[in-house]
Amino acid sequence: MAYEVTLIPGDGIGPEVTQAAVRVLEATGIKFNWDMAYAGDYAQDTYGTPLPSYVFNSIRRNKVALKGPITTPIGSGFRSVNVALRKGLDLYVCLRPCKSYPGAPTVHQDVDIVVIRENTEDLYLGIEYERDTVEGEMLARFIIESGADGIRDDSNFSIKVISESATRRIAKYAFDYARANNRKKVTAVHKANILKYTDGLFLSTASKVAREYPDIYFETVIVDSMCMQLARFPQRHDILVLPNLYGDIISELCAGLIGGLGLAPGANIGDDIAVFEPTHGSAPKYTGQNKVNPMAMMLSGVMMLRYLGEKEAADRVERAIAEVVAEGKSVTYDMKPDRNDPTAVGTSQVADAVIEKMEE
Ligand code: NAD
């Protein structure tokens, strides 16, 4: 049997890292029917839109997708193709494990943090108003008439939205993930001391959900304090559950803790659909250079294998990647202590090395 999987190469460095990941996934012996779907630059040029509707149809049909990064187009109908996909498919979980692989150039060792970011609301709803518009003027007037002060005449507005229902489902996902993966602690990250109604709701809802999971230790940490703690003692943290914006920022911080974006995989998950993609973006300046690290994309593929129930194959690929990192020979520039190290290899050579390790 072959798995039907939507494959979105993306743009920028996307196609290169996707090709490397596909080669490694196919080297497991598991069969995939890749349903090719183009979004981003290529789709814009070919179909006149960066996100054609057939991409949604393909993912809805196959339920599983592997996706390369996509540049956020400027001046098109979409604020972000990535956000539109997550919203359109209600992929409410952004799951980003950040785990140390010995040999990666890092300050800290033994980091094993899972960032669980709410993916559908918060400031990412894109509800924004410029002051010099009718809506911006109405909003300013409403705010001033309702008694708030401190709004300058030259202010624009971005609205932060947090709901109880979305918080409840992301918090439940975090606790269920903890149970399923034998993890001990969930930390809700917030700024409820300042944002009483939005982060306050996130905090109170996550705390209520925590009571349904007495077997999992629960704590709450203010986001600024979390940054300090992660920089100093990242090993103290286990699962973090966060609203969308803090989740975006903290997941890159955690990627930095384990050696950078080249090693940080991810998934966007809904009730019955999952799209696997690395944390990093399309790094346009490296497009077509066979230079960037494909391991984040490969590790996203490992997450996909686990999601499909292919645990043995997933372990085999992850072990091979870990061995290549530990050896430090066939790795890209970002895995070298000196980023100008001339012995750094290219994207496709990393795939060769990982496949070789799998075959040993
Ligand atoms: P980026 O992650 O693309 O790149 C930032 C820097 O990180 C790069 O210049 C490079 O030095 C490094 N880097 C990234 N990936 C790497 C890899 N695999 N190996 C080695 N080094 C790597 O972030 P950016 O420059 O802010 O964003 C570029 C574009 O990507 C933007 O249009 C942004 O909107 C988009 N983006 C897309 C996604 C997604 O598709 N999910 C995520 C983030 C950003």
Residue 152 and residue 166 in one domain: no
In a domain, 314, yes or no: yes
Q: What is the pLDDT of residues 54-113, one digit of tens each?
A: 999 999 999 999 999 999 866 555 678 898 999 999 999 999 999 999 999 999 999 999
Q: How confident is the model at residue 167 (pLDDT cuts 50, 70, 90)?
A: very high
- The answer as to whether 307 is a domain residue is yes
Whether 278 and 358 map to the same domain: the answer is yes
The alpha carbon of 261 and the centre of ligand 1 are apart by a number of angstroms equal to: 8
Mean predicted lDDT score pLDDT of the chain: 96
Q: Using a 6 Å cutoff on CB, does residue 71 contact ligand 1?
A: yes
* Largest separation between any pair of C-alpha atoms in the chain: 71
User: Given this model, what pLDDT does residue 36 score?
Assistant: 97
Residues 238 and 113 in one domain: yes
pLDDT digits (tens, 9 = 90+) for 222-271: 999 999 999 999 999 999 999 999 999 999 999 999 999 999 999 999 99
Please name the residue whose Cα sits nearest to atom 9 of ligand 1. 283
Return the CATH number at 212: 3.40.50
**Is residue 300 in contact with ligand 1, taking CB distance under 6 Å?**
no
69 lines ligand 1 (CB under 6 A): yes
| pLDDT higher than 70, residue 210 | yes
Report the atom number in ligand 1 closest to the C-alpha of 73.
32
Which atom of ligand 1 has the smallest separation from the CA of 69?
40
Q: pLDDT, tens digit, for every residue of 28-47?
A: 999 999 999 999 988 988 99
Q: Is residue 101 part of a domain?
A: no
Domain count, the chain: 3
* Residue 224 annotated as catalytic: yes
Name the closest-CA residue to atom 26, ligand 1. 281
Please, which residues have CB within 8 angstroms of residue 221's CB and are 6 or more apart in sequence? Answer: 187, 188, 189, 190, 229
Q: Residue 69: is it exposed, middle or buried by C-beta count within 10 angstroms (0-12/13-18/19+)?
A: buried
**Among residues 45, 90, 224, 272, which one is catalytic?**
224
- The b/e string for 292-302 (b: 16+ C-beta within 10 A; e otherwise) is bbbbbbbbbbb
Range of the domain at 249: 107-121+162-257
Question: What is the value of pTM for the model shown?
Answer: 0.95
In this structure, are 189 and 329 located in the same domain? no
Closest CA to 120 of 95, 157, 83: 83
Average pLDDT over residues 4-21: 98
Whether residue 261 has its Cβ less than 6 Å from ligand 1: yes
Distance 208 CA to ligand 1 centre (A): 36
Strand order through the sheet with 239-242: 31-36, 2-8, 64-67, 274-276, 267-269, 93-99, 112-118, 239-242, 185-190, 217-222
Q: Do the domain assignments include residue 87? A: yes
Question: Does residue 215 lie in a domain region?
Answer: yes
The share of the chain scoring above pLDDT 70, in percent, equals 98
In a domain, 173, yes or no: yes
How much distance in Å is there from the Cα of 282 to the middle of ligand 1? 5
Q: Are residues 115 and 218 in the same domain?
A: yes
Given 231, 257, 283, the domain boundary residue is: 257
Which residue type sits at 227? Answer: C
Protein residue with least CA distance to atom 15, ligand 1: 280
Ligand 1 centroid–CA 92 distance in Å is: 22
User: Is it the case that residue 7 has pLDDT exceeding 60?
Assistant: yes
263 lines ligand 1 (CB under 6 A): no
Say which of 38, 41, 99, 191 is annotated catalytic. 191
Domain with residue 304: its CATH number is: 3.40.718.10
CA of 284 to the centre of ligand 1 (A): 8
pLDDT tens string 295-351: 999 999 999 999 999 999 999 999 999 999 999 999 999 999 888 999 999 999 999
Beta carbon of 334 within 6 Å of any ligand 1 atom: yes
Residue 220 is encoded by which pair of tokens?
Answer: 């709450």
The answer to whether position 331 is within a domain reads yes
Same domain, yes or no: 222 and 111: yes
| Confidence category of residue 1, pLDDT binned at 50, 70, 90 | confident
Q: What is the pLDDT of residues 120-164, one digit of tens each?
A: 999 999 899 999 999 999 999 999 999 988 889 999 999 999 999
Asked if 61 and 148 sit in the same domain, the reply is: no
3-state helix/strand/coil string of the chain: CEEEEEEECCCCCHHHHHHHHHHHHHCCCCEEEEEECCCCHHHHHHHCCCCCHHHHHHHHHHCEEEECCCCCCCCCCCCCHHHHHHHHCCCCEEEEEEECCCCCCCCCCCCEEEEEEECCCHHHHCCEECCCCHHHHHHHHHHHHCCCCCCCCCCCEECCCCCHHHHHHHHHHHHHHHHHCCCCEEEEEECCCCCCCCHHHHHHHHHHHHHCCCCCEEEEEEHHHHHHHHHHCHHHCCEEEECHHHHHHHHHHHHHHCCCHHHCCCEEECCCCEEECCCCCCCHHHCCCCCCCCHHHHHHHHHHHHHCCCHHHHHHHHHHHHHHHHHCCCCCHHHCCCCCCCCCCCHHHHHHHHHHHHHC
Which of 248, 291, 333, 357 is flagged as catalytic? 248
Closest-lying ligand 1 atom to the alpha carbon of residue 280:
2
* 332 shares a domain with 244: no
Is residue 192 domain-shared with residue 324, that is, in the same domain?
no
Output the CA–CA distances (angstroms, integers) from residue 143 to 68, 134, 149, 301, in the order listed: 42, 14, 8, 47
Q: Considering the candidates 38, 124, 129, 333, report the single residue annotated as catalytic.
A: 124
191 part of the active site: yes
Q: Tell me, yes or no, whether 302 and 345 share the same domain.
A: yes
